[in-house]
Amino acid sequence: MVSKTDDIPASVPNCTAVDLAEDGETPESTESGRTALKKKPCPCEHSAAAVVMNGDAGHDGAEEAESKQDGSGDADPGDDANEQEVIVIQDTGFTVKIQAPGTEPFDLQVSPQEMVQEIHQVLMDREDTCHRTCFSLQLDGNVLDNFAELKSIEGLQEGSLLKVVEEPYTVREARIHVRHIRDLLKSLDPSDAYNGVDCNSLSFLSVFTDGDLGDSGKRKKKGSELEQIDCTPPEHILPGSKERPLVPLQPQNKDWKPLQCLKVLTMSSWNPPPGNRKMHGDLMYLYVVTVEERHVSITASTRGFYLNQSTTYTFNPKPANPSFLSHSLVELLSQISPAFKKNFTSLQKKRVQRHPFERIATPFQVYSWTAPQIDHAMDCVRAEDAYTSRLGYEEHIPGQTRDWNEELQTTRELPRKNLPERLLRERAIFKVHSDFAAAATRGAMAVIDGNVMAINPGEETRMQMFIWNNIFFSLGFDVRDHYKELGGDAAAHTAPTNDLNGVRAYGAVDVEGLYTLGTVVVDYRGYRVTAQSIIPGILEREQEQSVIYGSIDFGKTVVSHPKYLELLEKTSRPLKVQRHSVLNEKDTAVELCSSVECKGIIGNDGRHYILDLLRTFPPDLNFLPVEGEELSPESQKQGFPRQHRHRLACLRQELIEAFVEHRYLLFMKMAALQLMQQKANKENKTAALPESITAESVSDSKPTAVPEPSENVSEAATPAFDSPTSSESTLTPEDTAESEAALAHETPASESQETSAIDGSTVSTVTTNGTHEPRIAESQNGGCDSPLEGKEADETIPGLAQAKELAESLAADDGSGIDPKSREVVLNACKAVGSISNTSFDIRFNPDIFSPGVRFPDDSVEEIQKQKQLLKDAAAFLVSCQVPSLIKDCLDHTALPMDGATLTEALHQRGINVRYLGNVLEFVDKMPAKPQLEHVYRIGITELITRCAKHIFKTYLQGVELSALSAAVSHFLNCFLSSFPDAVAHLPADELVSRKKNKRRRNRVPGGGDNTAWASLTPSELWKNIGSEALNYYHFTLQCESADQAVEKYGLQKITLLREISVKTGIQILIKEYNFDSRHKPAFTEEDILNIFPVVKHVNPKASDAFHFFQSGQAKVQQGFLKEGCELINEALNLFNNVYGAMHVEICACLRLLARLNYIIGDHPEALSNQQKAVLMSERVLGIEHPNTIQEYMHLALYCFANGQLSTALKLLYRARYLMLLVCGEDHPEMALLDSNIGLVLHGVMEYDLSLRFLENALSINSKYHGPRSLKVALSAKSPCFCLSSHHLVARVYESKAEFRSALQHEKEGYTIYKNQVGEAHEKTKESSEYLKYLTQQAVALQRTMNEIYKNGSNASIMPLKFTAPSMASVLEQLNIINGIIFIPLSQKDLENLKAEVQRRQQLQDSGKAEEQQEDGQLALDDKLPVDD
């Protein structure tokens, strides 16, 4: 696909991208991905580009399954075939000449896969041809078919001349033309972005870079001369400033002062043309007022546009004299209005100069929570759209609405045998999905705004259902007591999101022949609306007749169908759903392969649909108290089970994946231990040896364990391997849990943990991520111990490789060739871990366990018991492993949430539901290391408070009528955030009532009646409700009864609370400074509430091939094959572009990685260009203050500095700091990195005092979060660099200021840490020691000089002191180090050693022993690789 503009070849998917690739590059750093690449609109907030992140972004099931085969990253032969395949389709592009009327011929680079239509798009975007829409392209006089691929056109070759030929207009073409001209006139106007329409969104990067970075580098080479740089940041950005202004969030962009080309362009009221004029070729009439105040009436005819003689009140369609007949409206207007001609030309120049990424539409709408006051201008197209159900150009044909269901299902049926077919299919699926999401959102808003007629208008409003544009809409209320037993309205509100998660899961498995409905869940104005595509024929028959699989009454009557069982069987392994039988009303067993609520309906189109997937995943027993059932001790210890609002609480798919992964390890470990024992028995040794081995390995691996459980385990473990019976009796779940602890160190980089993150320093991060240590540590309330000690444990189990082999061979054939003893080993291990098969590891869940009303046949009692136990284990695994593992990741900064969304994502990605937030906060609160987790605690409390407020706001809004909406929202925000004690609802006098009556009406809400309930809310009542909501929903006690107390007690920021609540509820407020703390007047008035937007959740289709290329590229980079990695990632970028178009959050991740690789190779300009795209894309797709965007700004600043653009680098860093203050405040570990960056750049431009303020702030934050003496055991951790760099950097700056005493003090601190942690011999220690000597000499010299002055007064002979002005190179080197990029010069010999080392590790990994290797191999690698941690 050609990108819509011709000036960015990089995003032209089919251009061969290899020219970008050079060799030598390293992995992406932890911090670059730390804030989890978040795919904005995705409901569960996962992203498929997860691997870019450092374990901060889950991705959905299908990729997980696929990336396992791919996990080693070493491309297997299948992979190579894939690469070959791609290279084949990337035919080289060629150039054609294009000749448009009235312009010189110009060259255009095209690719054979493009359609002719895409050349049309390019021409409609080019400055000199943008005003043409109705034309054909001709080659040698033959008209080209718009939908033909270029390679299929005869005679089209390098250098062919294509002529642009004007075609006659039709009504549709004339409308498209007017629309296009209107778009061109509005192209610099940001109002669409503020209003959240047409997939426009904001971007402010160009304000800070003064246009395009690439050019400014050449233009402003002089800029690097220091005197010209103004470095003073605004007051509110300086460390320690308490001010948090809102206005700088949206700086003024000078380009947005729009040049007025016309005063009015609108459809004339004389439309449509009467019959006799139609027969003269009149298509429609326009009315225009020029800037010169000339009022004209224009006819659009088949031949073009001309002036007619009509006026406002008289109709005279005859051409005026002169009529100025022109094929394009622009040509006509240019002739009658000089101002139009001048302004339109300069407007187009500006438009084309903007970076394409600032103007391409995003795939899903992004809404801004702040906006300035925008003037509401006349706009014919907007007015027309408001009253037609348009969803794109294709609907100018009246009566044509899209058959969404047909489109969604046909794209799924497209062939997918080879790469080109898959790309086409994925592209079609993605396009239809984004169109459907936009249509559904628009429809849902129309439903709530009262623009759509219900299909059951007689019933009460909450029971009504709607159909609009072939989409079915229902409200999230419990209609007809359907959910009565499951929690009524609360369950009805949750069911749609659970259903959406089910649709996403089945969609990701993508089984041929099984269809799900297009589903979008929209929250708008306090209501939840579910939008679904319509199964053909479902409206014509009763539900009872159409359901042929599943149950329509929660299991009272159940039916099944062989075809559905066959289709669902294919999904059962990836989704871990167990095939099981339930009893129907006649007490006969019915076989199902899903939960009972899942219904199968065959549509009139013959397709097998499944719907109501709300129980795809098993129930979460921690929030589902069942009489007579005891949870495991780990859950009980933390106060579970707890009563929840509804009975639909399910475990997340990520948790199921992690749990199964974890059980698999346990399974392997057990089999290995038994094999060892058999071997020992064979050699006639006594049984004592294996016992000691078992005991030793188990206790070793949990250094922090209290002795008692470890003894218990060693006793239980040995007999467990003798006979199946004992394994059942002795291996109780607790013991299993304890032996799980033994596995902490064997955890592979499971996708659920997402540790495959590029982290060059550690090749398998998980070992340091030992999932289970925190659980043991918990018993002493301690932090987690170093995983190093677990290593010996691994070495005592040489049977692991053997066990793996055995399990594989058993799974491969039916085990016939294996001796019974080995089979028994597997049988025991299977029983112990709860596998459903006795010959191989296979864990699946029965989603119907504990469903009210579901009964199971008597013969499956044992099976059901096992399943219940499995569910209890999974619930225990969540609280005892996943929560501690999250906290541990936060402690060592592998997870670094910055705001509510990134925190939610970190939880989700480890399979923890947000309802556990209170639990997580309590866990943090009890940690001795709490000060180092303060940022997480603060973000968690903010999230908890704003979520509780959101719940209350939802019901509060439902009672407000439309005319009082802005008053009600501002009143709610006043009660929530303002310090004004008696926030009275600011009830405006009704605008429609005459002044005289006003006095009496002062205190009545417009509309009067019972709708005034919202006005009685008071701040104390709201905060009381928030407190009780926190207790009931999150089981967390908030110790604050007002906003001010919350700020005081938890260190929150009101501006952050405002951002979080606005984003969560869709409120848009006026951008101005709000005085929250005034006790005399409320902070908000109704004028400050500009809009309410919908909050939309939908499925995010993935580009699987592109994603695999991306993963393989990362793996190559990790292994040090930088050139190959770069090529693969460029390839991935092409494929992503092919599927998603130019704008997408995964493309953003791709660009960021490419930029980093370019930078490491040394191609700084290319790095700058890619990173600029990444920043623009992040702003457009995720939002201007999203944590990811802040990260991107920081990277861009580094590359700007490397390119000598110092002032730009500073501006970008200041912007990043401002955004970070707004989003999470100053007290955050990431702020230390940012401040070190700012301090270094300022040091580089010799602004020493300023530099010190930032560096000292960085030092204090680092000391707080990493401990004052921190140098982590493995050198890979970033923290040591931080604290040490901080000391060292501060010392350097003091030296530059000639304050040697302070410099010495800081460098000594640094030296001491180095010496204690890495020893005297380490080069860093030596370096530090040298620097200390140098400082001491300087200090002595200075003292001598001072003494000389005191002694001899003014005629003293003063020795000149040697000051080193910082060189740019040294500053850049320091910048690289703190940003995790370390360049190490490599000799040829080093390179060979490195290659050998990489191969050795590869073999080790293959044999499954990579974990033992990790620490020592780690240090070896650290010295040789351009490390990027």
Q: Running along the chain, 1429 residues long, what does each successive block of 10 average in pLDDT?
A: 36 34 35 35 36 35 36 38 44 84 89 87 88 91 89 87 93 91 87 89 89 49 48 90 93 75 89 92 93 93 94 92 92 94 91 88 94 80 62 42 92 94 95 94 92 90 90 91 88 95 95 96 96 92 80 86 95 94 91 93 94 94 91 92 93 96 93 87 57 38 33 33 32 38 36 35 31 32 33 47 68 59 86 86 92 89 92 95 95 92 96 96 92 95 97 92 91 93 68 45 40 85 96 95 94 96 96 92 93 96 93 90 90 94 94 93 91 96 96 95 91 95 94 92 87 90 76 31 60 66 69 67 69 70 65 55 65 83 64 69 57 37 37
What region does 1298 belong to: left with phi over 0, alpha with psi -120 to 50, or beta?
left
Ramachandran angles phi, psi of 1130, nearest 5°? -60, -40
Query: Which residues does residue 371 pair with via DSSP β-bridges, in sequence order?
Result: 1070
Asked whether 380 and 287 are in contact (CB, 8 A), the reply is no
Rg of the chain's alpha carbons, rounded to an integer?
A: 34
- Side-chain half-sphere CA neighbours of 251 within 13 A: 19
Question: What is the pLDDT at residue 14?
Answer: 36
**Mode of pairing for the β-strands spanning 608-611 and 514-515:** parallel
Cβ count within 10 A of residue 1342: 16
Cβ count within 10 A of residue 680: 17
Segment (H or E) for 531:
strand 527-533
Question: What is the pLDDT at residue 580?
Answer: 94
Handedness of CA 1068, 1070, 1072, 1078 (dihedral sign): negative
Asked whether 482 and 476 are in contact (CB, 8 A), the reply is no
**Helix intervals (H) in 770-916:** 773-778, 790-795, 799-812, 820-833, 861-877, 883-891, 900-909
- Side-chain half-sphere CA neighbours of 30 within 13 A: 25
For residue 839, what are the contacts with CB-CB under 8 A and spacing of at least 6?
810, 811, 814, 815, 823, 826, 827, 830
Question: What is the pLDDT at residue 1269?
Answer: 55
Q: Which residue has the tokens 């907030």?
A: 45
Segment (H or E) for 69:
helix 61-70
CA-CA-CA-CA torsion for 956, 958, 962, 964, nearest 10 degrees?
-20
Q: Which residue has the tokens 């303002």?
A: 978
Question: What is the pLDDT at residue 1084?
Answer: 94
Longest dimension (CA), the chain: 115
- Residue 868 tokens, joined: 């219940």
Asked whether 701 and 745 are in contact (CB, 8 A), the reply is yes
**Mode of pairing for the β-strands spanning 547-549 and 1095-1098:** unpaired
Cα–Cα distance for residue pair 512/681, rounded to 1 Å: 51
- Residue 510 tokens, joined: 């993508």
Ramachandran angles phi, psi of 363, nearest 5°? -70, -35
SS3 367: coil
Asked whether 633 and 734 are in contact (CB, 8 A), the reply is yes
Cα–Cα distance for residue pair 763/767, rounded to 1 Å: 10
